[in-house]
Structure 1
């Protein structure tokens, strides 16, 4: 984001300004592309309005207030011209416009649009976060007017001037409070828009992170399983290439099938990235493809028994995919990290949840037996995303067990 150009005053402090938030029509700086420009056009319009309006007010108050002269016009131009810096130095502009108006009224010149420059100066200070400075500026202006109207008028023009009524001062005080209150309200709304915008950006980043993790899990599960099968079969093929060419041919055939399936699933994941919003070209894998996993495991030298505890109901797509990937990763870990060539997969449902149990008889062939890296973390993330749980660890008899509990009804995000 572009660095904020409106500095904070060391004397007044205050939070950083938030010019860029909220509807463009309320942004005194205009759009971000115009933020670095000087507000010449609006300042000239204000100066013309103040000069013409004060001339009209002078005719209406002739005899009661001093007539406009060059000094009066110079004060009006100075007060209006200061607004050219209202975006870069709002505190100085607030005090400068208040001082120019105070001198103008102290010299006995007509009431009129001179108050408008003070209002704009204080408005800019409040909106940019310098609320204390704005209150001080309008307070200085009001106190100065009270002193002139009730005490100093004896020595100031016009001659024969009388003290102003306290009711007039009350009206001016009400007008000042209303201007500052409106400015504070605008700033509060602007801060609210800024928070909403930040929350939306954070939610978008969170969704992007979740999607990135989902894709990473999919690619890991697909590649880890297939590469493990390929690695085992490549070792078998190399070992039997000379002594048993037929068995080596079988190993190469398994490698070809596993690599083809891996390429297909990776292509499916990449297709969802290239065409967001479109339906996948192939259905996501589910437990109906469990026989394929068993066959692939057999090709890697692992015998898998599938057992059922009651009838498994039709699963939601997300739960079906998570169950398939959990079984796939668990069997991959058996191939990679266990000395056992036998595994058991038990499926069942109870109390509104799908229960998956994958056991092997060990022994472990490394310190990370059972899968202590990204695979097990991915399984836990999949289960947690559905409101389920994963328990994984060694059994007392030396084997390893993965127990997954996935709810059959996934709570929808609101």
Structure 2
């Protein structure tokens, strides 16, 4: 019987997603500084009337890009510094060039940082300066230049807000992806714990019961000692094989030998193993195995296995009845019903353990239900597992 978590074999460490926050700040500062300085030097060669570039001009050309270095630590400082550097450069009459690049980027980065109103205020100040400058320049087309400046200021803010929304959508996608990965890893761990319990606990419980029987009858009736030892050998061999398969799933470098999953066809052998421990088991199977998918068969098998294990270990029962059937009407229409009754002492006020929790989880994973109720005497475990016909016989 193979553990029921094949996906765990491919479950590697979760991928680490880093939010893309644009180019590094140092790259932006150096690039903008190079464009402003080199572009202005080239442009100044064709402007004879402009004031020659000196050390003060170079400092002002570098001050704007330097303000962009505060995009992470103090984004509010970007626009004021860039605006003063740009306004001072133009007011001193230096050659025109790409001096406004750092000012434009300061508006974009301010909006991208989430400082919406500050970005609009800065854009308004810049647009106002453009309008005043165009009006006093004496250019007859100054209204057109002023309108273009105002439009570009608004476009810069909208562009920064678009970058901001894109970053927020990416962050939300990353949070959802990480939450989904965490849920998937939790489900893997839960499945692993459940399968280890079902695979190992059943076999060890059988070994314990048979060892007790062997100790009890060994001295008085040696003939009964052999069946008990054979049962111990078979249970320990099966448990060892399944534990190796579990380790093969956990270790990606270990080959995983294919093996058949437990099916309803294995219930007679399961009942026989329980009888070797002194529990009389009656199996009543009225289900059509060909209409029941492999996942439902495995869940039903594991539920019956765990129920019989609990009966043998805790209830003190002498007999158990296992019934399987199919419903065709009512709220569980098209469902496989599994019922395990025993004549033991019931729960006796004990809290549900890992076995009962695992049975409920298996039923829930199939979209079904599992209930436990007291009998007089004994206990009833009843599960309803919806039958999915996809891939089965029509």
Smaller-chain TM-score bracket: 0.7 to 0.9
User: What are the equivalent positions in structure 2 for 1:162-181 lying under 5 Å apart?
Assistant: 162=138, 165-181=142-158
Deviation at 1:73, TM superposition (A): 3.0
Give RMSD over aligned pairs: 2.9
Task: Tell whether 2:198 aligns with 1:213.
Answer: no
**How many pairs does the alignment contain?**
369
Q: Does 1:358 align with 2:356?
A: no
Relative distance call for 1:364 and 1:73 in structure 2 (3 A) is: closer
Q: Show the counterpart of 1:389.
A: 369
Write the mapping of 1:239-250 to structure 2, written as runs, cut at 5 A.
Answer: 239-250=216-227
Matched residue SS, 1:346: strand
Choose 337-346 or 98-107, whichever is displaced more: 98-107
1:133 aligns with 2:131: no
- Residue 280 of structure 1: how far off its partner (Å): 5.2
| Residue pair 2:248, 2:255 contacting (<8 A) in 1 also | no
Provide TM-score, normalisation by structure 2: 0.83
Task: Structure 1: give runs of 5+ residues left out of the alignment.
Answer: 1-18, 30-37, 154-160
Instruction: Decide whether aligned partners of structure 1 residues 276 and 399 sit closer, same or farther in structure 2, where only a CA change above 3 A counts.
Output: farther
Cα drift, residue 100 of structure 1: 1.0
Instruction: List alignment gaps of at least 5 residues for structure 2.
Output: 1-16, 329-333
What is the rounded CA distance, in whole Å, between the counterparts of 1:100 and 1:279 in structure 2? 68
Q: 1:77 is matched with which residue: 62, 65, 68?
A: 62
The answer to whether 1:273 aligns with 2:242 is no
1:21 corresponds to which of 12, 19, 22:
19
Q: CA deviation at 1:72?
A: 2.9
- Separation of aligned partners in 2, 1:411 and 1:206: 27
Correspondence for 2:312 among 308, 319, 335 = 335
1:114: how far off?
A: 1.2
Determine if the alignment matches structure 1 residue 292 to structure 2 residue 269.
Answer: yes
C-alpha separation in 1, matches of 2:380 and 2:246: 29
Query: Once the two structures are superposed, what CA deviation does each residue of 1:238-277 show, in whole Å capped at 9, x if it has no partner?
Result: 2333333333443233222211111122222222232499
After TM superposition, what 4+ stretches of structure 1 lie above 6 angstroms from structure 2? 276-279
Q: Distance between the aligned counterparts of 1:266 and 1:107, measured in 2?
A: 83
Q: Distance in 2 between matches of 1:67 and 1:199?
A: 57
- Choose the corresponding residue for 1:399, options 368, 378, 385: 378
Contact 2:291 2:389 in 1 (8 A): no
Counterparts of 1:260 and 1:374 in 2: how far apart (Å)?
24
Distance 1:276 1:322, change over 3 A: farther
Does 2:358 align with 1:378? yes
Q: Deviations over 1:99-142 (max 9, x none)?
A: 21122233344543111011222333333333343333333333
Change (3 A) 1:278 1:186: farther
